[in-house]
Structure formats: structure tokens, C-alpha cells
Chains A and B, each alone.
Chain A
Amino acid sequence: MKHRGFVRVRRAARLALALSALALLTSACASIGPKPWEKDLMARKEMSVNPYPLVAAADDHIYFSKEASSGGRGFAGGGCGCN
């Protein structure tokens, strides 16, 4: 009985530890990144993740048809019988 109680306590402690770690992570995550009024640079085209989609599509298409790998940036290349 005593032993059971000990296990329970240990479980509770573990849970508390996990929860506090999660809370810590969440709060750390929430503090990452600029505030809304600091988004000036990110609003620019050159800082978007894919500023030239036609260029990226052409490059991906070429590499897809010349190499064994595909995908990564987006969906695996496709739509052509080139591989």
C-alpha cells in the first residue's frame, strides 16, 4: 500500500514536471518572433518563403527530371513522364 502511494506520487511528480516543461515551452514559443509592429521586414516580398514561384517551379521541374529525389520544398514533382 505504501509502495503504491509512492508510485502515485512519482507519477504525479512526473506529470507536473511534464506539464511545467510544456508550459515553459509554450511560453518560450510565444515569446519567439517579432511583435505585430515589427513585421515590416517580413512583409516584404523578398522575405516571403517563395517569392518567385515560377522560378522555383521551373527549377524543381528540372531537378525532378534529372535526379532521383523530389519534393522537400513542396509536393514531389509530378505531372510529367520525365522520371
Chain B
Amino acid sequence: MQLKTSKPAGHIRDTLATLSLGLIAANAAISPAAAQQSTDNTDATPGEVTLTLPYFEVGSAYLSYAESGGRVRATEPSVDFSYHASNGGVLTLGFQEDSVSGATPNGAAPADVAQSFVTPVQVKTSAATSSGGTGTTTVTTGFGDDTNVSGNGGEGGEGGGGGTTTGGTTTGGTTTGGTTTGSTTTVTVTTASGGSTIISVPSGSGTGGTTAVLGRQYTVPANTLPMDRGFQDQRFAGNIGWSQPLGPLSLAGVTLSYSKEHDYSSISGSASVAKDFNDHNTTLSFAVNYSSATSTPFGGVPTPLTVMNPQWKTVASRKKSDMDLVLGLTEVLTRRWILQANLSYGHSSGYQNDPYRIISQVDGVTGEPVDYLYESRPGSRTRESFYIDNKIDFDWVIPEVALRYYHDNWGISSETADISARFKLYRSLYVLPNVRFYQQSAANFFHYYLVNGQSLPAYASSDIRLGKFTAVTLGAQIGFNVTDNSEIYARAQIYQQTGDAHPAGMIGQLQNQNMFSGIKASWMMVGYTWSFN
């Protein structure tokens, strides 16, 4: 539904433009796709076309994501549905599911010796006792792609212990290995690809040293980035929203969202208002979002900066709340040029640690690992960002440049440039290459490691996502209309983070280690959109 008005001058152009509007109006009756537009075009004013026919839109997509080096893999099917009522009201429904697995850095620094880590097993039991029972326990651990892993950790990064005692048929009632001898005792182990074992560890706080706890141990070879392979999670998320013109407002809307993982859940609500001015060429909007999240990590919530251990912690869960405000301006500058600018402010308070992530405590001379402490992040975070997006239609190509400046009170600043161009190839066929540049500074509590014997800081994390790095994304999307009202597209992206592998000031053996744990990832997405009356 385009008119090639490349260089018509004067009244001819006006005539063509008027004609095209008429054609769009005619098309809108039979082709709801043509009616999909930004809000500044949907309201009717005298002399404009009123789109009164209700219609539906459905979007579905499938995402496949993988990081190199056997790290995180994920798939995510998602569906969006919207109903556009004749009074301008829009009902939206969305649903997505994520399945995530793979290895993820546990936060420890690499070392020139093999390193072993012991975390809680997933099932909360006091399995080992000192009864000396004659039964046997078979503890099966499965990691990597094994299906008997039920895991934890946030998607995309921080998993942690995930061994299950499936097959743990405790015949005889008690486990062997329960007779604690003061040293770590292996129970019965069946290892899978991840190389984790279930061990029995004397309880430091046990009564009389007669109790022990099960722990999941994994060992990382020398000169290797410590990663935990026992990581798998599944997430379901859904949202429902309604928006409509309301009194003097061009648009007012509310949305409710819910998200659930094995060890994390979140509920949020948002409200937004928008007002059009200037022939609908200017739209001012304001939106507020509040969310409440609960983190229920496997093994309980560890006390920050205490030594990593397999004990289930007494605190089962912690909460976090977020408030976000976005002030937006959308301006249609010319017939071909649209600009969007957003000013955002957000505040998070509550539990913001990664409960599975540790930080090495190393010897002050040799740099050898001494201990592993649970990380510690501030309970409050305030962030601001400014985002501006420009898109211009040159008929044969539509370039788009989006820039973002971000800053928060953890000391992180970042700049992002997202550049793309949609080339029209043949009929509805298009290709849309894109490139994205990103750089961020480090949080003021980012440390590669802590030094043994020195006083502990209040906050410390070795999560490279809070460190200094740059990232580049390259990709493209290709798509075409299957029918007048439906489009199919495919998209591929590659992404690489780059940072300092040998930062200045490393101690001892750490000078020889690769201290940058950033990722290289790629993802593919296919999608389909369809609108109908």
C-alpha cells in the first residue's frame, strides 16, 4: 500500500498524497494491517479517516540463543495477541516461555591449580546421619543436558547448584557415609557430563559433629574460568493490558505482568497516559511501572561475604521492588521522519544479589585461592537513562539510529548506539541489517577478587556484567508478506563482549590468568504476524 511519490512537485504531490490517504482508508476496511500505526495516527480529527472496524493481531516468534564455550543455551517461544476495538480500545495478551541451561561462571577467579566448589544439593534434606544404618543411597547427579537436573539461577547468567537426588531411593532409611569422620566423605556418586559429585560434608555447626550435610561438589581444572554446569531453569511469563482514549487523553492504559521461574517470581503493574498535539504529530506520554519480585534460591539465601558452603541457609527468600517512570515524546517531524525520545528513572530496593555467585579470596602474595565468599551488592539502586530514536523513510531504505545514555548510582555509566537500515528489495521483501555498539563502566564495588587478610568491603561482586567492557552486535532480519495481512520474518544476531583480560594490579598467579569472563553469543529468531477482522 505505497505510492512511489519519489519526486512529484507542488500540487501533484499533494494530489498523490491525498489519493494515497484515500486508498489507505479503503484498504483499512479490508486490510487491518494497514491500520496498525502509532497512536498519533489512530485518533480521528475532522478531515481525517476514522478507523472503526475492530480487528485482531497475532504475533508469534521462536528464539534460539546460544553462548560459545558450552555456556548458556536458551529457547523462547512467545506469543502476542491484541484486539483493537472500534472505540479505540486495545486489549493485549502476551505469553512467553524460556528454557535455559548450560554453564555459567560462578564468580571465582581462575587459578593455576584445580579448584573445587561445594554448594547445597537441590533437595533440602538432612540426608546423612550418624545412625550407621545399613542402607545404601544412590545419589544420581545429572548436569549439562541431562533431564534429571532441576536447577536454578537466573536465566542468562547465574545458575548454581542443581543436582537432584533423583533415583535417590534410600533403602534402609539412612545414608552411608553418615558416620562422619571429620573429613569430607563421598556418599555414592554417579557423575554425568558436568562432573559434579554429591558428597557428605561434616556440618560445622552440627551437634557433636555427628551430623553431616550433603553437598554438590564440582571441580574446575587449572587455568580455566570457574563455571558451574549444574544450571537449568524454565520461566513462564504472561501479561494482559488494556488501553483506550479517555476523556482529554489520547490514550490511557494499564498492564499486569507475571513471571515465574523455579527460584524467582515477579509481578508488576504499569499505567500509562498519552496526549496528542499538533495534528497528532506530537505525542507526550508518561508511564509508571511497579514490580515486586521474590528470590527463592536453591540452598536458601546466603549471607553476603560469608564462606561458600553446602548448608541450606535459614533464610528461604528475599524480596525486591522496582519503581520505574518513563517520560516520552514522539514527534513526527516531516512526512518521512519520526523521532522518539524517552527520559527514564528507576529505583530498585531490596535483594539484588546473585545468590549463587561467589568471589574469590586470594593470598596477598601468590594470588592462590584461599576461600570463596558469597557476593554482596547494595540494597538500593537508582538509574536514569535518556533514549533517542530517529527513523527516516527514503523510499528505498529506512535508516534508524537509536542512542541511549545510562547512568546509575552503582557507578555504572553506559552508551549504546543501535543502527539499522531496512532495505526494500522486491515487493514486500525486505532486509534489515543492524549493528549495535555498547560500552559500560564498572560498578564501584566490582572486584576481580578480594585479598585474604584485608578487611572486607561492604559490597563486592566479581560479576563481569558489573565490570567494564564493550560489546558489539551484528545481525540482520529478512521478511516478506505472505498475504496482505501477514508477514513472516527471520532474524540472526551475533554478539561479543570484549574486556581487559589482564588488568593492571593483579596479584601473583592471577597475572597469568584471563580475567575477562564476558560472552560471545548468537541467536536466531523466526516470527510471524497476522492481522484479521
Contact = CB atoms under 8 A, between A and B. Distances in A.
A44 interface: yes
Contact of B398 (A32, A47, A58, A65): A47
Nearest to A68: B412
A5 interface: no
Interface of B: 1-3, 14, 17-18, 20-21, 24, 33-34, 36-38, 40-41, 45, 47-48, 59-61, 63, 65, 76, 78, 80, 96, 98, 153-158, 235, 237, 257-259, 261, 263-264, 266, 268, 270, 277-282, 287, 289, 291, 293, 295, 322, 324, 326, 330-336, 338, 340, 342, 344, 346, 383, 385-387, 389, 391, 393, 398, 402, 404, 406, 408, 410, 412, 414, 416, 422, 430, 438, 440, 443, 465-466, 471, 477, 489, 491, 493, 495, 497, 519, 521, 523, 525, 527, 529
Interface string A54-77: 110111011101111111111110
Contact of A34 (B65, B157, B335, B495): B335
A30 B61 CA distance: 40
Contacts, number: 238
Contacts of B61: 54-55, 58
Contacts of B527: 52, 54-55
B279 A33 contact: yes
Contacts of B34: 43-44
B154 A81 contact: yes
B443 A33 contact: no
A75 B287 contact: yes
Given A37-B14, A37-B18, A80-B264, A32 B331 contact: yes
A82 B158 contact: yes
Contacts of B493: 59
Contact of A79 (B37, B80, B259, B335): B259
A55 B422 CA distance: 15
A46 B422 contact: yes
A41 B174 CA distance: 74
B389 A49 contact: yes
B33 to A, nearest CB: 7
B278 A30 contact: yes
B474 to A, nearest CB: 13
A42 interface: yes
A35 B136 CA distance: 82
A37 B5 CA distance: 14
A71 B404 CA distance: 9
Contact of B344 (A54, A55, A71): A71
Given A58-B78, A62-B65, A67-B471, A40 B17 contact: yes
Binding site secondary structure of chain A? loop
Contacts of A59: 493
Contacts of B289: 75
A72 to B, nearest CB: 4
B37 A80 contact: no
A70 B347 CA distance: 12
Contact of A71 (B78, B281, B393, B406): B406
Contacts of A33: 278-279, 281-282, 331-334
A78 B497 CA distance: 22
A70 B345 CA distance: 11
B389 A55 contact: no
B414 A67 contact: yes
